[in-house]
Amino acid sequence: MEDSETHNLQKETIKQQYEVVKARTAPPNDSNIGSHVREYGDKTFKDDKLFLYQGFYPAKSSITNRPLLSPSLKGAINQRDVDILFMWKKYEQLNVGSEEKQRALREFKETVLHRKHLDSSIDFIGKLVFGFEGPSVLEATKGPGQPLVDYWDCLKTMVRVFESQCGSLTQYGTKHMRAFTNICNNGVSETEMKEKSISACDSYNMGKWSSLVLGHSV
């Protein structure tokens, strides 16, 4: 809508707006920051003018197309790290030496440790199941046009088996969904997944991260 307000919709096409917004929301050479605009579905009407879909306000017919101001994305963070940033900012603002500040720091440290636990556990399970090629198997992608998941029920089962033994994935851990997908696509059984999850997480005290407390992610 920001782009639409600065352009004559009788002249700008859907394709032009897509390219402008894509460049506006994420730097072209860094995929780790910003928002990532994507195209889906039928693209045959990309050359249509925007007014056919958004309408047209006659008072703006004389608008000279103006480029959108692009904010600096240098300080952008991954969406999965927002909770960590919030915790740290909260900690910084609390009174030094207060019990609340100490509690905030403990919560921050516990969250970071659980994240590290998730990353290392899934990596270890991959090695237990697939050998030292495990990490590359877990990160494998399918070819264009192929479904991400062959067996949706299996994906749900594998995630729940893991969470029951290793703790909740939390929003952060959902980045590992591809790993669970590849475990399913490679025919790993529920029994084997449970055995390997126990091996990887048997000594971990889930505490508040238990799926019995937080529920399952899927």
Predicted confidence (pLDDT) per residue in 89-109, tens digit: 999 999 998 999 999 999 999
Instruction: Give the contacts of 36 (CB within 8 A, at least 6 positions apart).
Output: 25, 26
The pLDDT score that the predictor gives to residue 192 is 97
C-alpha closest to that of 6 among 21, 28, 23? 21
Report d(CA 101, CA 80) in Å as an integer: 23
The pLDDT score that the predictor gives to residue 194 is 96
Are the C-beta atoms of residues 16 and 37 closer than 8 Å to each other?
no
For the chain, what are the domain ranges?
1-60, 81-209
Report d(CA 75, CA 124) in Å as an integer: 32
Report d(CA 183, CA 165) in Å as an integer: 16
Fold of 81-209: Topoisomerase I; Chain A, domain 4 (1.10.132)
Report d(CA 102, CA 34) in Å as an integer: 33
Q: What residues of the chain score a pLDDT lower than 70?
A: 1-7, 26-35, 50-51, 55-76
The pLDDT score that the predictor gives to residue 75 is 59
